[in-house]
Structure 1
Amino acid sequence: MTLYAIKEGKKLRCGYTTGSCAAAAAKAAALLALGQDAVPAVQLQTPRGEVLTIDIVSCQRFPRQGRCAVRKDAGDDPDITDGVQVAAHVSLTSGGIVIAGGPGIGRVTKPGLSCPVGEWAINPVPRQMIRTAVEDIARQCGYTGGFAVTISIPGGEELARKTFNPRLGIEGGLSVLGTTGIVEPMSERALVETIHREMDSRRAAGEKHILAFFGNYGVDFSRDVLQIDTEKRVTISNYVGESLDYGAYCGFSDLLLIGHAGKLIKVAQGIMNTHSRYADGRTSFLALAAMLHGASPAVGQAVYDSVTTDEALRIIQDEGLLEPVMALACRKIAYYMEQRVHGALRTGALLFSNVYGVLGYAGAAEELLTLHRQRSELL
């Protein structure tokens, strides 16, 4: 792969999606099925127009059949499928093109995903890429019959347990994914699309309430301290704004975000992407809030200079100001969350710290927490 992306001042190499790998393997296997010689590489045009040259790592010819494999190259992206083999077995048929999954490919068991329930988890764009690839070979060889294409990923079932697939309702293996054919290193688009897929799955299952977390800290705290079931959660990483937007778009009735104060204090300033490379301001907000409630400039400076949120909170607590400062933070969080959705759904946020426990409730958080507790008791 010779395409690159610039991320955080670094030149990072792009990679191939599993969809591109599957299409390339199918193209090479179709050649074998039609009696052509094995090729070391094939060219493939991506949905956005790039022409890729993808190496073929293994080939097997059978009567009217061929099997080829491509080794997934995710570039500089930390993709769990980097290095796996994506294989395609192609058989000649009397007509039409049928695309199926084999070992290592999951099946969809819940509604709301790009593929219907019961179907192989080979998404629409990769399916079209596979179809186009074998159609190209048919034209090249003057063939007018059909193809049966089976995609497989050796070891895919084990790898899938380390992904979101089980929570999304994809069982038995990995998904064949990709909307552009290219893996962009540390792609934010891919992360946001994963959040959307989780929400789609929840909504299609009839869910009206979103229980959202930044990551594992909130999940562990909710399970161990708040004693609520987190199985049907949505993990939003740093993407507060995009998650609120999509929750409103999908027609959910409410969203409860449970998160560490270190993340949610940022939302109190209208920061809707909480990654540190975009914005911080945690100690700035806490220092100002403390001084607005009577802290001296020296205390404000100490809060401002704190290395961690918990250290800032300790200073504020020592001044007897933790409750009013957290109340102000909750009012601001509620304001910015409500402003983001403009009344399309009810919003709430619960702030916590592993040191200080629950620090406050923003918006409709207390009522929504009660709702999720009641739902947990029914399970």
Structure 2
Amino acid sequence: MTSSGYTLPVWVAAAAVAAVQRLRGEPLSSSAAPEVLLQLQPDADAPEPPLVAVAVEGAALLGPDRALGISRCEPGDGLDLTRGLAVWVEARWAELLPGEAWLQLKAGEGVGVLAGSAALCLSAFARALLACNLQPLLPDGCGLRLRITLPGGRQLAQRTSNEAFGVVDGLALIGTQAAVQRSADPDQLARARAELVRRAADPALATELVLVIGENGLDLAPSLGLPAPWLLKAGNWIGPLMVAAAEQGVERLLLFGYQGKLIKLAGGIFHTHHHLADGRLEVLTTQAALLGLPLEQLQRLARAASVDEALRDLAAADAAAARALQQQLAAAIEERSAAYVARHGQRGLRIGAVLFDRARRLCAQGPCGAELLQAFRARDLG
């Protein structure tokens, strides 16, 4: 049995399947070490996709039409705040009304919702994972309601940047794949390089690429019209992956990510894990000085607690200056990235940068980034 190294959506799906099995009157596979079988690739084309055994803690009926399934997160090796987190999913049958979705989800305690609403913050992958594993278990003409609870999730969320990205009250379910990937793990770089080699053999994908920084970027990009087949998660290995992309024949590369991460590239920092290098406020202040901002504003930028706070305070005092500084950052990211790739002997790659802020809004585009963003969106529409 393989049950370690999975993202939070997998453990939610496992608890949900366990609950629905109890609703159907089916026992779990083993009382000593209960587990459920999950399809972990909801977009798989195989007629009979492989199933993987995932551990659960148990399931119980709460009434004639209600059941509770419980799992516990095991994200594998490395630091991860979800380790040991209990996942409770309450399932109940629902009458399937015309025009109503068969799967209805509700956020319980500890689950993140979008600020200003009760809408569960759920990635497309997480929803598809639930759907592909639960729909085969439903009786004909029947819907399903799930209430997801993460005991302790509200407290854990305070250690993340969820709230800054517009997610409140708990942890977001925004994983984009089943397996946990460490953004600073050398194996993650090797996997990304292998994926570049695979894409290089596909004429439709060989020359264009969007390097996405982080899970929030990977979740946000498709909603902004960036075609999913061109997306590749870079993690913190941005510099080596740009060089590898050029080596594999990529001609147009768009960097898409949170401004507080990509700003490091404007300072010549191309492995962005905070344990290795930071300097974000120093880079911001330098770019502001090159823009000609007065000394008093430079001092306030340098003393801010974060890039977002610095730009927010600058915008309150001079909105035009803040917008100009963000645009200058995007242009500097493009220039330094092109120079980095050229130093490694690769000169045929055009690099653009598009930045979003913690409200998940596009906030800056470099000259090349604006062009590539429009072109990639057009490809998606075509």
TM-score of the aligned structures, taking structure 2 as reference length: 0.52
CA distance in 2, matches of 1:194, 1:232: 22
Q: Please name the residue that 1:165 is paired with.
A: 162
The SS at the match of 1:15 is coil
Q: Please name the residue that 2:263 is paired with.
A: 213
CA displacement 1:23-44 (0-9 Å, x = unmatched): 1111110122233334411000
**What one-letter code is carried by the residue in structure 2 that aligns with 1:25?**
A
**What one-letter code is carried by the residue in structure 2 that aligns with 1:270?**
V
CA distance in 1, matches of 2:366, 2:309: 18
Mark the CA change 1:198 to 1:233 in structure 2 (over 3 Å): closer, same or farther: farther
Q: Please name the residue that 1:133 is paired with.
A: 133
**What one-letter code is carried by the residue in structure 1 that aligns with 2:114?**
V
Q: Please name the residue that 1:304 is paired with.
A: none
The SS at the match of 2:10 is helix
**1:98 correspondence with 2:104:** yes
Q: Please name the residue that 1:120 is paired with.
A: 120
- Match runs of 1:223-262 below 5 Å: 226-228=299-301, 230-231=307-308, 254-256=327-329
**1:67 correspondence with 2:38:** no
8 A Cα contact 2:114 2:120, kept in partner: yes
Q: Please name the residue that 1:21 is paired with.
A: 11
Structure 2 residue ranges without an equivalent (≥5): 97-101, 193-210, 226-257, 265-271, 286-296, 312-324, 355-364, 369-382
Q: State the percentage of identical aligned residues.
A: 19
- Match runs of 1:46-61 below 5 Å: 46-47=40-41, 48=44, 49-61=49-61
Q: Please name the residue that 2:35 is paired with.
A: 41
**1:149 correspondence with 2:143:** no
Structure 1 residue ranges without an equivalent (≥5): 4-13, 111-116, 235-251, 273-278, 280-335, 348-379
CA displacement 1:259-279 (0-9 Å, x = unmatched): 9xxxx999754379xxxxxx9
**What one-letter code is carried by the residue in structure 2 that aligns with 1:22?**
V
**What one-letter code is carried by the residue in structure 2 that aligns with 1:179?**
T
CA distance in 1, matches of 2:259, 2:149: 34
Q: Please name the residue that 1:270 is paired with.
A: 341
- Select which of 342, 351, 357 maps to 1:340: 351
CA distance in 1, matches of 2:40, 2:221: 26
8 A Cα contact 1:72 1:82, kept in partner: yes
CA distance in 1, matches of 2:220, 2:122: 19
The SS at the match of 1:181 is coil
CA distance in 1, matches of 2:151, 2:120: 16
Q: CA deviation at 1:93?
A: 1.3
Q: CA deviation at 1:22?
A: 1.0
Superposition CA RMSD, Å: 4.5
**Larger-Rg structure:** 1
8 A Cα contact 2:9 2:126, kept in partner: yes
CA displacement 1:66-108 (0-9 Å, x = unmatched): 1111111111243221221222110111122212221111112
CA distance in 2, matches of 1:60, 1:66: 6
Q: Please name the residue that 2:199 is paired with.
A: none
The SS at the match of 1:256 is helix
CA distance in 2, matches of 1:342, 1:180: 25
TM-score of the aligned structures, taking structure 1 as reference length: 0.52
8 A Cα contact 1:210 1:233, kept in partner: no
Aligned pair count?
A: 244
The SS at the match of 1:37 is coil
CA displacement 1:93-133 (0-9 Å, x = unmatched): 112221222111111238xxxxxx75211212211221222
Mark the CA change 1:84 to 1:103 in structure 2 (over 3 Å): closer, same or farther: same
Q: Please name the residue that 1:283 is paired with.
A: none
Mark the CA change 1:258 to 1:148 in structure 2 (over 3 Å): closer, same or farther: same
CA distance in 2, matches of 1:55, 1:257: 45
CA distance in 2, matches of 1:191, 1:127: 21
**1:176 correspondence with 2:176:** no
The SS at the match of 1:54 is strand
Deviates more, 1:180-189 or 1:95-104: 180-189
Q: Please name the residue that 2:267 is paired with.
A: none
Q: CA deviation at 1:157?
A: 1.1
CA distance in 1, matches of 2:169, 2:24: 31
CA displacement 1:305-333 (0-9 Å, x = unmatched): xxxxxxxxxxxxxxxxxxxxxxxxxxxxx
